[in-house]
Chain A
Amino acid sequence: MTGARAALFVRRELAAALHARWFIVYAALFLIAGVLLTAFGMGNTMVYGYRGFAKAFAGLVHLALFLVPLMALFPSAASIADERESGVLEYLLAQPVSFGEVYAGKWGGINVAMVLALTIGFGAAGAVAVLRGVPLALVTIAYGFVLLLALAFVAVGLLLSSLAASRARALTFGVVLWFLLIALGTLGLMVVSIRWGMPQRALMVWTFVNPIEAFRIGVMSVLDPDLSLLGPIGVGLVERLGSTGTAVLAALSLVVWSVVPGLIGLRLFRSRV
């Protein structure tokens, strides 16, 4: 694989993203919702100090938790399936390029576009938060987790796009997966735990296996070091791993999610052109 050809595909994907409506809509949506939530959500909490803005900033984190996976899934799940349907993929692969170069270009291009969109959206909300007294380091760490969450779902989207026979199926798989991961978040698992007696240890493992939960736990362990906002699971995690250990493990989980599905997608991509 030559870097020059892969870079050409990255630029192509980035140009397509900048030209597409999704990029502008997502950046604008995140920017407006994030700024509003941060500005008004923190209005009455500053008097409570650190814990107060943590609760308010948690609103932004939960916005990211719902919105960022979808933002990442839509363009990535559509990318390969769409070009497969339109005949563009076959024509590209009929050129002197490797499957890996085309795939890496798509992966890299969508990642760069997502980072740009989130930097605009989250950056503005984060700037408001910093102006209102939230430490820059905390906003930066939260921004890092948001990026990792986006990269994880870009990789998942590419896997689905390689797997699905059509764009519509890839998008459907993406939305169903997103819904399941949200539904099987802490709240859903607590219901399962109470109803069928799932052990707390299994709940903790699941917290790191589910990328949405890993993101939530990771960010909250920085904003609210005793994780009391997350109830008994949060407290249990802090007792076993400490808040830093919890954050690091959550970040590691997201890094794995950002890489492994993408690599599986590459393998499928080679066999499903």
Chain B
Amino acid sequence: MIRARGLAKQYGGVAVLRGLDLNVRAGERVAVLGLNGAGKTTLIRCLLGLTEFAGELDVAGHDVRTSGLAARRAIGYVPQRPPHFDGTLRDIVAFFCRLRGLDAAAVHAQLEELGLAVTEHGDKHVRTLSGGMLQKTLLGLALGAQVDVLLLDEPTANLDAPARREFLRALRSTAADRTVLLATHRLADVEAVADRLLVLHEGRIAFAGRMRELWDAVGADVTLWIQVPPDRRGDVERHVAAQYATTTVLRNGSAFGVKIERTRRVDLLGELRTSGVTVEDFWTEAPSLHDLMDQLLATRPAGPEDRAE
């Protein structure tokens, strides 16, 4: 559904994409993960034909360079920041329905499924809607257009946690049969939406595979937070220091944070129970994207891996 060969883009002599090969099959949900400046947004701008590029790029069988209109007809787009439209929700929906030749009733039904009934919110100026509602409006417009491909450029980046969860839930439930390319720097978004993951770093694909394969590849440590009675903290510190000498022990109020291999979390909790320490509470914190990238780049074999089939 999406095919790139040797996709490259420079801005002012600085290479942002460095010859990517990419294949996303119909119905696949792929996340493009990367730090700021990795090339995620540039990849999406290339797919939308908003910028010139080198190499080949097809969407739904249409060459983006020579058949841009046909390619964009197959694409629904949700940007990072919702555009500041001027008008009511009803006006905006009506305009985009006319522009794309859509059945307004179908789009209204789609918006209602996303919790945005036009009968209820239609007369509200779009600038009075929350960020989450705006993003869902754009998602509704894209889904109502019956597009084959959804391009989402960090759609949850400016949403608070509840709005983010709500948007991802809506995306999962309504876009099940679409091809999705989600650019993000949030691991949680990847785990919530994607079947497959591409990690972009400095315009190259640093990893392509499933999320679990990424964890396996990098052996990324997680932080296991443990809460124990105050009189047993010393025992826990000594145990961790003796058994997990290379890990880092963090403190946050009454809780200990132990950086540990993902697979060894259960071992540590078992050891503490055996030694008679009552664990009052525990939780796991995933590594940050920066940590993950550091570990990925450290474990990655020399030479670029720019094919993502």
Contact = CB atoms under 8 A, between A and B. Distances in A.
A87 interface: yes
Contacts of A16: 86
Interface string A3-43: 00100100010001001000000000000000000000000
Interface in A90-149: 90-91, 93-98
Contact of B79 (A87, A95, A271): A87
A180 to B, nearest CB: 30
A198 interface: no
Contacts of A97: 69, 72, 99
Given A96-B69, A97-B69, A88 B99 contact: no
A98 B69 contact: yes
A8 B84 contact: no
Given A86-B84, A97-B69, A273-B50, A91 B79 contact: yes
Interface string B81-114: 1111110000000011011100000000000000
A133 to B, nearest CB: 45
A5 to B, nearest CB: 7
B81 A87 contact: yes
Give the 3 A-B residue pairs with the shortest CB-CB distance, closest first: A86-B84, A87-B83, A96-B73
Interface of A: 5, 8, 12, 16, 19, 86-88, 90-91, 93-98, 271, 273
A97 B75 CA distance: 12
Nearest to A5: B99
Residue from A16, A93, A94, A273 having most chain B Cβ neighbours under 10 A:
A94
Nearest to B91: A15
Contacts, number: 51
B222 to A, nearest CB: 36
A91 B50 CA distance: 10
Given A16-B86, A88-B85, A94 B100 contact: no
A98 to B, nearest CB: 6
A5 B51 CA distance: 22
A273 B49 CA distance: 11
A98 B85 CA distance: 20
B79 A90 contact: yes
20 contacts: A16-B86, A19-B86, A86-B84, A87-B82, A87-B83, A87-B84, A88-B84, A90-B50, A90-B79, A91-B77, A91-B138, A93-B48, A94-B75, A94-B77, A94-B79, A94-B151, A95-B72, A96-B70, A96-B72, A271-B52
A87 B127 CA distance: 13
Nearest to B69: A96
A217 B151 CA distance: 55
A232 to B, nearest CB: 51
A213 B264 CA distance: 82
B99 A94 contact: no
Contacts of A12: 95
B72 A94 contact: yes
Interface of B: 48, 50-52, 68-70, 72-73, 75, 77, 79, 81-86, 95-96, 98-100, 138, 151
Nearest to B147: A96
Residue from A16, A19, A86, A271 having most chain B Cβ neighbours under 10 A:
A86
A121 B41 CA distance: 47
Contacts of A88: 83-85
Given A94-B75, A273-B50, 5 more contacts: A19-B86, A87-B79, A90-B79, A94-B48, A96-B73
Contacts of B48: 93-94
A271 B77 CA distance: 21
B89 to A, nearest CB: 15
A86 B100 CA distance: 21
A35 B70 CA distance: 53
Nearest to B44: A94
A91 to B, nearest CB: 4
Contact of A96 (B82, B98, B100, B138): B100
Contacts of A95: 72, 96, 99-100
B96 A90 contact: no
B99 A8 contact: yes
Contacts of B85: 88
B295 to A, nearest CB: 34
Nearest to A19: B86
A87 B81 CA distance: 7
A271 B138 CA distance: 25
B54 to A, nearest CB: 15
A247 B72 CA distance: 48
Contacts of A5: 99
Contacts of A19: 86
Contacts of A87: 79, 81-84
A103 to B, nearest CB: 14
B50 A93 contact: yes
A16 B84 CA distance: 14
B83 A8 contact: no
A161 to B, nearest CB: 17
A96 B98 CA distance: 12
Nearest to A270: B52
Nearest to B48: A94
A91 B85 CA distance: 10
A60 B70 CA distance: 51
Nearest to B77: A94
